[in-house]
Amino acid sequence: MSPVIHGNGYKKNSINSDAWAMLEIAHREGIETVWDRLAKQQPQCGYCNLGTSCRICSMGPCRVDPFGDGPQKGVCGADADIIVARNLARAIAAGASAHSDHGRDILETLHIVGEGKSNVYKVSEPEKLRALAVEYGVDADGKSDQELAKELAWEMMEDYGMRRKKLPLASRAPQMRQETWEKTGTYPRGVDRENVEVLHRTHMGVDNDWVNILLHAVRTALSDGWGGSMIATELSDVLFGLPKPVSSHVNLGVLRSDSVNIVLHGHNPMLSEVIVAASQDPELVALAKEKGAQGINLAGLCCTGNEVLMRKGIPMAGNHLMQELCIMTGAVELMIVDYQCIMPAVTETAKCYHTKVISTFDKAKFPGAEHISFDPGRGLEIGKQIVRKAIENFSNRVPERVHIPVEPVPMMAGFSVEAILGALGGTPQPLVDAIVAGQIRGAVGIVGCNNPKIKQDLGHTELTKRLIENDILVVVTGCAAVADGKAGLMVPEAADLAGPGLGSVCKALGIPPVLHLGSCVDNTRILVLAAALANHLGVDISALPLAGAAPEWYSEKAVSIGTYVVASGIYTVLGTAPPIFGSLNIVKLLTEGLEDVFGATFAVEPDPNRAATLIRRHIERKRASLGLSAIDPESIAMPEAELTFV
């Protein structure tokens, strides 16, 4: 392997010193990373970047050249609008399917609990189970948790089918929002139905009206946000517990040189919950000590990490771009992967160390990983088997190659909607009062990934800082949350970095100005919070001074999230460019036209300081239309662009 360091050295790749230290090792030892592979891909295909390449059928592949003299149509006659729309719809369906299939796995676990067939899972939040049963019209009276779990599971399985005209959880949205969905034909029906219909419509020769394709793509994204993802979040709370504010730590410094380190990577908390239990098993702890370790240390990566951080306070090793670097500490005995966002490269990196990679879901196997098929019915037994493998691997560690480069940074997590409302005294009124008084100008969800095309975490942290210093409350999920955690923005003391209004509210409540709402499926907590605020005020979500941002997104899941957030009425700024620029019609629709349809649009702005201005202007406009004190949006200066795409 011959590493090509992207840009002018590894400090260009990330803002974090733990990443720099590991990249230095990678450089020295010739270990390839994601940045090297990105460099080797240059120049990336211009047609694909514009979204105008198509390989849907075997008359192709085709490329259309909307701005040049090349072909304007594919072999079948599809033009740039049709091709971009089909590609975008398929990306949304892939993302929505990933989230919703995760939801299905949790739902099947609830069903197993309902049948009394699990030796490890139980209903941890009976109250939430009962509330959900009521929402689904299940009579909860006199029924045990187990009976109710089974009945609710059966009901929710219908959400994946074709018998529903509307997904029940979508009725949490304000009436006006639901009417918009009805009017536009985008009210989500069945999760699987919408996703399969995208595949049908985008087959050659089916839906060739680009607006019609995109409207169905919206419906599919809504079946994710108000369906599959929401089921994943709600049922994870029911089974594994409702997140409550918790203090923990983040960055590679959470790995311990004296302990057996197990890294939990992926998205689904089913297995990781079991690993947490198994790692506390006295027999296994004793075995670890026998092997010379002080104990068993768990650390999270990506969204599985967020799940166990939110509920169990398990420390977080890093976000998406840290997955290879984490192994290069030489201190990881075992990386357990479930699914999504796990680079196939991790098993290659692991070969350079003693680290074992264990895959666990039959739908997500990795060459070079040992596969232990996870069966929720025998959860604990499998969990113990895996933890034992980690302990046995401790003796293979090479102490001279262990390098844990930094001290961990403290961070808070665990802000479920229930916890936030609890902290406010059970009602959103105090938050509304602070917004009305102008102490808090509005709220923004910063979500999504890392993408090596953007300096790691720069987009998240700069945008967050600009917003909080201007009295805008920030809520975060996914890899954005981990970025802000590493930057020290998620402790109560960070209130000092906020403007005077937001700062004083945070100090009074003892909370950070940046609240961790969870993993990417937990973006539904943002929808629920926004709906609760809108319903409380009797307005649509689009009337509120809210915005969304995905400064460093890379994944198809993020495309689905952005789409359901906009279709729910929240203006959203993307940092990396989606592959749509080959169709000016579609760019115009997404950045302007959607305003009249959904009361919100997308914007694309890679520079976080400029994105902050766009968002601040938007929030002040919304404040003015609600009759609240507002700054003149045009008086908020738009800085010169400093950061553009790599």
Residue numbers at the binding site for ligand BF8 (CB under 6 A)? 267, 302-303, 319-320, 341, 448-449, 478-479, 519-520, 555, 557-558
Q: How far apart are CA 434 and CA 420, in angstroms?
A: 14
Which residue stretch of 49-57, 319-327, 393-401, 555-563 sits at the interface with ligand SF4 (rule: CB under 6 A)?
A: 49-57
Q: How is residue 360 written in tokens?
A: 């666990």
Burial group, residue 171, by CB count within 10 angstroms (0-12, 13-18, 19+): middle
Question: For residue 266, how far is the Cα from the chain centroid?
Answer: 11
- Select from ligand SF4, ligand BF8, none the partner in contact with residue 225, using the beta carbon and a kind-dependent cut-off of 5 to 8 Å: none
Name the residue nearer to ligand BF8 (CB basis): 386 or 446.
446
Which residue stretch of 69-77, 328-336, 406-414, 439-447 sits at the interface with ligand SF4 (rule: CB under 6 A)?
A: 69-77
Name the residue nearer to ligand BF8 (CB basis): 210 or 564.
564
Which residue stretch of 54-62, 326-334, 425-433, 584-592 sits at the interface with ligand SF4 (rule: CB under 6 A)?
A: 54-62
Q: How far apart are CA 118 and CA 130, in angstroms?
A: 20
- Select from ligand BF8, ligand SF4, none the partner in contact with residue 74, using the beta carbon and a kind-dependent cut-off of 5 to 8 Å: ligand SF4
| Count of C-beta atoms within a 10 Å radius of residue 429 | 14
Which residue stretch of 59-67, 344-352, 430-438, 515-523 sits at the interface with ligand SF4 (rule: CB under 6 A)?
A: 59-67
Which residue stretch of 72-80, 191-199, 398-406, 441-449 sits at the interface with ligand SF4 (rule: CB under 6 A)?
A: 72-80
Name the residue nearer to ligand BF8 (CB basis): 271 or 533.
271
Q: Output 76-83 pairs: Cβ under 8 A, ≥24 positions apart.
A: 76/204, 76/205, 78/54, 78/204, 78/208, 80/50, 80/52, 80/582, 80/583, 81/210, 81/583, 81/585, 81/586, 82/208, 82/210, 82/213, 83/51, 83/52, 83/53, 83/54, 83/582, 83/583
Does residue number 59 form part of the binding site for ligand SF4 (CB under 6 A)?
Answer: yes
| Residues 186 to 225 in contact with ligand SF4, rule: CB under 6 A | 204
Q: Which residues have C-beta within 8 Å of that of residue 38, sequence separation ≥ 6?
A: 6, 452, 453, 646
Does residue number 48 form part of the binding site for ligand SF4 (CB under 6 A)?
Answer: no
User: Which x/- pattern over 74-103 shows residues binding ligand SF4 (rule: CB under 6 A)?
Assistant: xxx-x----x--------------------
Asked whether 242 and 125 are in contact (CB, 8 A), the reply is yes
Q: What is the 3-state secondary structure (H, E, C) of 84-148?
A: HHHHHHHHHHHHHHHHHHHHHHHHHHHHHHHCCCCCCCCCCCHHHHHHHHHHCCCCCCCCCHHHH
How many residues sit in the footprint of ligand SF4 (CB under 6 A)? 14
> Rounded to whole angstroms, what are the CA distances from 354 to 332, 335, 359, 593?
8, 11, 16, 54
Q: How is residue 590 written in tokens?
A: 């997404």
| Shortest Å, Cβ 157 to ligand SF4 | 34
- Select from ligand BF8, ligand SF4, none the partner in contact with residue 62, using the beta carbon and a kind-dependent cut-off of 5 to 8 Å: ligand SF4
For 60-96, b/e burial (b = at least 16 CB within 10 A) is bebbbebeeeeeeebebebbbbbbbbbbbbbbbbbbb
| Shortest Å, Cβ 52 to ligand SF4 | 9
- Select from ligand SF4, ligand BF8, none the partner in contact with residue 478, using the beta carbon and a kind-dependent cut-off of 5 to 8 Å: ligand BF8
Which residue stretch of 71-79, 165-173, 289-297, 319-327 sits at the interface with ligand SF4 (rule: CB under 6 A)?
A: 71-79
- Select from ligand SF4, ligand BF8, none the partner in contact with residue 631, using the beta carbon and a kind-dependent cut-off of 5 to 8 Å: none
Q: How far apart are CA 364 and CA 172, in angstroms?
A: 33
Asked whether 265 and 360 are in contact (CB, 8 A), the reply is no
| Shortest Å, Cβ 449 to ligand BF8 | 3
- Select from ligand BF8, ligand SF4, none the partner in contact with residue 557, using the beta carbon and a kind-dependent cut-off of 5 to 8 Å: ligand BF8
Name the residue nearer to ligand SF4 (CB basis): 4 or 204.
204
- Select from ligand BF8, ligand SF4, none the partner in contact with residue 277, using the beta carbon and a kind-dependent cut-off of 5 to 8 Å: none
| Shortest Å, Cβ 97 to ligand SF4 | 21
Q: What is the 3-state secondary structure (H, E, C) of 596-642?
A: HHHCCCEEECCCHHHHHHHHHHHHHHHHHHCCCCCCCHHHCCCCCCC
Q: How far apart are CA 177 and CA 530, in angstroms?
A: 12
First to last CA, the chain: 23
Q: Which residues have C-beta within 8 Å of that of residue 526, sequence separation ≥ 6?
A: 445, 447, 475, 477, 517, 548, 565
- Select from ligand SF4, ligand BF8, none the partner in contact with residue 75, using the beta carbon and a kind-dependent cut-off of 5 to 8 Å: ligand SF4
Name the residue nearer to ligand SF4 (CB basis): 82 or 558.
82
C-alpha closest to that of 206 among 92, 82, 84:
82
- Select from ligand SF4, ligand BF8, none the partner in contact with residue 448, using the beta carbon and a kind-dependent cut-off of 5 to 8 Å: ligand BF8
| Shortest Å, Cβ 13 to ligand SF4 | 35
- Select from ligand SF4, ligand BF8, none the partner in contact with residue 59, using the beta carbon and a kind-dependent cut-off of 5 to 8 Å: ligand SF4
Does residue number 56 form part of the binding site for ligand SF4 (CB under 6 A)?
Answer: yes
Pick the binder of ligand SF4 from 9, 46, 61, 70 (CB under 6 A): 61
Pick the binder of ligand SF4 from 5, 15, 54, 274 (CB under 6 A): 54
| Shortest Å, Cβ 57 to ligand BF8 | 29
| Shortest Å, Cβ 557 to ligand SF4 | 24
SS3 78: coil
Name the residue nearer to ligand SF4 (CB basis): 532 or 586.
586
For 339-352, b/e burial (b = at least 16 CB within 10 A) is bbbbbebbbbbbeb
Asked whether 579 and 552 are in contact (CB, 8 A), the reply is no
- Select from ligand BF8, ligand SF4, none the partner in contact with residue 223, using the beta carbon and a kind-dependent cut-off of 5 to 8 Å: none
| Shortest Å, Cβ 29 to ligand BF8 | 26
| Shortest Å, Cβ 303 to ligand BF8 | 3
Positions in the binding site for ligand SF4 (CB under 6 A): 54-57, 59-62, 74-76, 78, 83, 204
